[in-house]
C-alpha cells in the first residue's frame, strides 16, 4: 500500500522550506493559536501583500505610466512626491481596508493619520510606515524599501490626533522593512529575534531565508553622506577624519536607508545620518524610519543612538519628528558615541 501522507526525505525538506511562509512563521513564533497570534500573523501577511504588489509595480517601472517621476505635489516633509511614493502609500491603505486589523495608519506621506472606522472597534493595531524609502533611487533603478512599525492603540483617540503615538519606540510591538533589491526581501521582528524572508515570485510567497539574524559586534563598513561633511558639527567631522586615517574601512552609501541598513545588519559596521548646521535633528524621521530600525537592531544585538540618547528612548514631539541616527554594530556605534560625548 503506498503511503500518500509523506514524500521522500529530499522532497519533504523542500516542502518544509517552501511552506515556512511569513504568516506561518509568525504563528510559529507564538507557539499558540491565540487571537493575538492570528491577528499578527494576518497583519504580517497583509504587509507581505503590500510588498509583493509594490515589487510587481516596480518591476515594470520603465514600461508603464506613472511609476517613475514625480506627481508635482509636495508632501508634509516639504519633499517632492514621487509617483511611487503615492502608489505605495495607497497600497498599504488598501491592504488593511476590510481587514478588521488596523484602525489607524500613519505615513511619511500623510500629514495626519488615516482611520479605517469599520476596523476601529476591533482592530487595536496602528501601522506607522514609510511607503517608499530612498525615493531618489526610483528613477535610476536602484534599491529602495518600505519601513513599518506596529503599535497597539492606547485609548479611543477621540481627538483623532493619535496623541498616544507620541511615545518612545519602546512601545513598538513589532517592526521591519521590505527591500526591493536584486531580490525582494522582508525582514521583521515581533520581539523574538530578527528574521528574513525572500520573495519567491513563482509561488508569490515570502519564504523564510534567514532566522534569528545577529549583527556582527564590529564591522569595517561605514555609511554616511560625506557630501554633508562641512555641515556636521566638529565632533562628527573628527570621527570621520579618524576613519580616514585608519586602514581597512570601507565606505558604502546608496541613498536608501533601508538598503544601507540591510548591508550593515548582515555585514556589520555603522550607518550615520547626523544633524547638520540648521537641521540639528537631521533628516530621518523617528516614528517610521529610525525607531523601527532601532527596534530591529536591538533585537539583532546592535545599537542605535542619536549620539547622546538611545533611539528607542526618544519621545517624539509630533508625528513627523526627525532625529539624528547612528545605528549598527555595538562596538562601532560606541566609538561614534565616544567622539560625540567628548
Q: Which residues bind ligand AHG (CB under 6 A)?
A: 79, 108, 130, 133-136, 225, 255-257, 273, 283
| Grid cell digits, residue 236 | 562628527
Nearer to Mn ion, 130 or 157 (CB): 130
Q: Which does 256 bind (CB under 5 to 8 A by kind): ligand AHG, Mn ion, none?
A: ligand AHG
Return d(Cα 193, Cα 180) in angstroms, integer: 22
Q: Which does 291 bind (CB under 5 to 8 A by kind): ligand AHG, Mn ion, none?
A: none
Q: Which residues lie below 8 Å from residue 19, measured CB to CB, with a gap of 6+?
A: none
Nearer to ligand AHG, 108 or 157 (CB): 108
Return d(Cα 124, Cα 173) in angstroms, integer: 12
Return d(Cα 194, Cα 117) in angstroms, integer: 32
Nearest approach in angstroms of CB 262 to ligand AHG is 12
Nearest approach in angstroms of CB 255 to Mn ion is 10
Nearest approach in angstroms of CB 84 to ligand AHG is 10
Nearer to ligand AHG, 123 or 324 (CB): 324
Nearest approach in angstroms of CB 108 to Mn ion is 5
Closest C-alpha among 110, 142, 144, 140 to residue 127 = 110
Q: Are 177 and 294 in contact (CB under 8 A)?
A: no
Q: Are 144 and 123 in contact (CB under 8 A)?
A: no
- Under DSSP, the state recorded for 288 is I
Helical (H) or strand (E) element with 300? none
Interacting residues toward Mn ion by CB under 5 A: 108, 130, 132-133
Task: Give the chain's length.
Answer: 342
Nearer to ligand AHG, 162 or 272 (CB): 272
Q: Which does 225 bind (CB under 5 to 8 A by kind): Mn ion, ligand AHG, none?
A: ligand AHG
Nearest approach in angstroms of CB 245 to ligand AHG is 23
Q: Which does 53 bind (CB under 5 to 8 A by kind): ligand AHG, Mn ion, none?
A: none
Amino acid at each position: 500500500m503506498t503511503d500518500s501522507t509523506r514524500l521522500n526525505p529530499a522532497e519533504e525538506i523542500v516542502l518544509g522550506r517552501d511552506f515556512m511562509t511569513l504568516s506561518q512563521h509568525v504563528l510559529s513564533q507564538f507557539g499558540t493559536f491565540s487571537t493575538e497570534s492570528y491577528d499578527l500573523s494576518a497583519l504580517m501577511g497583509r504587509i507581505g501583500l503590500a510588498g509583493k504588489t509594490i515589487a510587481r509595480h516596480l518591476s515594470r517601472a520603465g514600461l508603464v505610466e506613472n511609476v517613475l517621476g514625480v506627481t508635482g505635489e509636495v508632501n508634509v516633509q516639504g519633499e517632492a512626491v514621487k509617483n511611487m511614493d503615492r502608489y505605495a502609500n495607497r497600497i498599504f491603505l488598501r491592504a488593511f481596508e476590510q481587514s478588521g486589523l488596523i484602525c489607524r495608519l500613519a505615513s511619511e506621506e500623510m500629514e495626519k493619520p488615516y482611520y479605517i472606522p469599520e476596523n476601529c472597534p476591533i482592530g487595536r493595531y496602528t501601522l506607522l510606515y514609510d511607503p517608499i524609502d530612498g525615493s531618489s533611487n526610483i528613477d535610476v533603478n536602484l534599491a529602495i524599501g518600505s519601513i513599518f512599525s506596529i503599535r497597539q492603540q492606547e485609548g479611543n483617540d477621540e481627538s483623532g490626533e493619535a496623541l498616544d503615538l507620541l511615545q518612545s519606540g519602546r512601545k513598538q510591538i513589532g517592526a521591519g522593512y521590505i527591500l526591493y533589491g536584486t531580490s525582494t526581501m522582508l525582514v521583521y521582528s515581533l520581539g523574538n529575534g530578527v528574521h528574513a524572508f525572500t520573495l519567491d515570485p513563482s509561488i508569490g510567497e515570502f519564504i523564510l531565508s534567514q532566522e534569528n539574524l545577529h549583527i556582527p559586534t564590529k564591522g569595517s563598513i561605514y555609511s554616511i553622506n560625506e557630501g554633508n561633511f562641512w555641515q556636521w558639527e566638529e565632533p562628527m567631522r573628527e570621527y570621520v577624519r579618524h576613519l580616514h586615517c585608519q586602514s581597512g574601512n570601507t565606505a558604502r552609501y546608496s541613498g536608501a536607508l533601508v538598503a544601507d541598513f540591510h548591508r550593515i545588519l548582515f555585514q556589520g559596521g555603522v550607518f550615520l545620518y547626523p544633524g547638520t548646521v540648521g537641521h540639528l535633528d537631521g533628516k530621518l524621521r523617528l516614528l517610521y524610519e529610525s525607531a523601527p530600525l532601532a527596534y530591529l537592531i536591538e533585537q539583532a544585538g546592535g545599537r542605535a543612538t542619536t549620539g547622546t540618547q538611545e533611539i528607542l528612548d526618544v519621545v517624539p514631539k509630533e508625528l513627523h519628528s526627525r532625529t539624528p541616527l547612528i545605528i549598527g554594530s555595538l562596538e562601532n556605534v560606541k566609538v561614534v558615541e565616544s567622539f560625540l560625548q567628548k
